[in-house]
Amino acid sequence: MRESIKDKVAIVGAGCTKFGERWDAGIDDMIKEAATEACEDVGVEIKDIQAIWVGTFRGSQQSGGVAPTGLVVSSALQTQYIPVTRVENACGSGQEAMRGATYGIASKVYDLVMAIGVEKLKDTGFGGLGTMYPGRWEPVYGAFGTGPGRYAMAATAYFAKYGLPPEEGKRILAEISVKSHHYGVHNPKAHLRREITVEDVIKAPIIAWPLGLYDCCGVTDGAAACILCPAEEARKYRDDYVTIKGFGIATSPGWGKEREDYDFTWWDATEAAARQAYAEAGIKNPRKELDMVELHDCFSIAELIASESLFLCEHGKYKQEFTDKRAYYHEGEMPVNISGGLKSFGHPIGASGCREAYEVYKQIQGKAQEPSRQIKDVTLGLTHNQGGHPGRFICGALVLGTP
């Protein structure tokens, strides 16, 4: 790396739609909602934006057959011949859009850009995301080729490796889901706004053992957007801007399922991305230095393993370091997914990475909507977004903080 981007790029505006089963809105409507809120937040108009990056997984199938290009945004916002770049990295697409916008500013080519993540999943005619390998099913390689199946393998592997009886392991995962729903209730933009109990989680229908209904994120519609500018120009837009401290993106070689030395209990690409971001941000001890983390918790076990793979606690020590101490609550030592996370806020695939940045941005500003969610004195936060499945990931880690 020739030069760090630390404190060279600022987020000066952000917007996010209500997440949920948005039967009332198409993909164009949600793009407009998120972009309009972001523009109003900073006091600019769409015509002031010089370039846009959009992350979406199924965007071309949600917008009347528009080819998988930037047209999904340019037509919705009626931009006038500016570059709009559509990126896709599975569930990590939102983080990829943030990266494109960040480096667009860092390159000194643009003065004001936007990153948008969006997904419309509820009108697609199926109940989930299907298998990982549509059109090329193969009885050995494709076995357990669904999201719940892959993450269930990670959960059972974790239980076995660290000597957790199934009942205890299930209870640890249930505590994570209970926490996520608790904060979702207090987040007006969240999808699943309902308190649940540990017993609710344990007794829920099994999707892929040990993961039950309440261990899995829902199928959600939504969009989020961030507006970025050079840090030296941020104060002309607002005083409470947020700067980018470090960015890491790592893509695995994809052979985790076949490697004998990979046991599904750690996210290799997450560790690599985190190391990149921490090094650039100058973070030596993330557990002590970070004030909050928004991480990719598509399943309860994903929050557990991601927390360890982001070096927030030692591998195998999640129960002692997080569950027993309630450290992951907003008043705890290491608040995680105080938005409700993907589990409760929702996971419109391409939107989640941008939505996580929106949450950290608002928390740093002290504008987390509900006092019951606001973390005290946030100056440094991390977002983590990943796509793929255990052993075959694209992961991003983004550190945001006060100037």
Nearest CA to 187 out of 41, 26, 332, 367 is that of 367
Residue tagged active-site, from 16, 39, 91, 226 = 91
Catalytic residue among 186, 191, 347, 389: 347
Query: Is residue 315 annotated as a catalytic residue, yes or no?
Result: no
**311 φ, ψ to 5°?**
65, 30
Residues 6+ apart with CB under 8 A from 160: none
Measure the CA angle with vertex 271, ends 270 and 275; round to 5°.
115
Q: Assess whether 91 carries a catalytic annotation.
A: yes
**Amino acid residing at 19:** F
**How many Cβ atoms are within 10 Å of 227's Cβ, its own excluded?**
26
Q: How far is CA 160 from the centre of its chain?
A: 28
| 400, 361 contact by CB (below 8 A) | yes
Q: 3-state DSSP call for residue 125?
A: coil
Do 360 and 56 touch, CB atoms closer than 8 A? no
Alpha-carbon distance 134 to 111, whole Å?
A: 41
Gap between the Cα atoms of 221 and 351, Å rounded: 9
Q: Tell me if 302 sits within 8 A of 211, measured CB to CB.
A: no
Q: How is residue 111 written in tokens?
A: 């003065």
From 377, 371, 369, 384, select the one nearest 336 (Cα to Cα).
384
Q: How far apart are CA 176 and CA 151, in angstroms?
A: 15
CB 90 within 8 A of CB 394: yes
**Distance between CA 179 and CA 290 in Å, rounded?**
19
Amino acid at 40: E
Instruction: Provide the β-strand partners of residue 397.
Output: 248, 384
Alpha helices (H) in 115-190, listed in sequence order: 147-161, 166-185
Active site amino acids: 91, 347
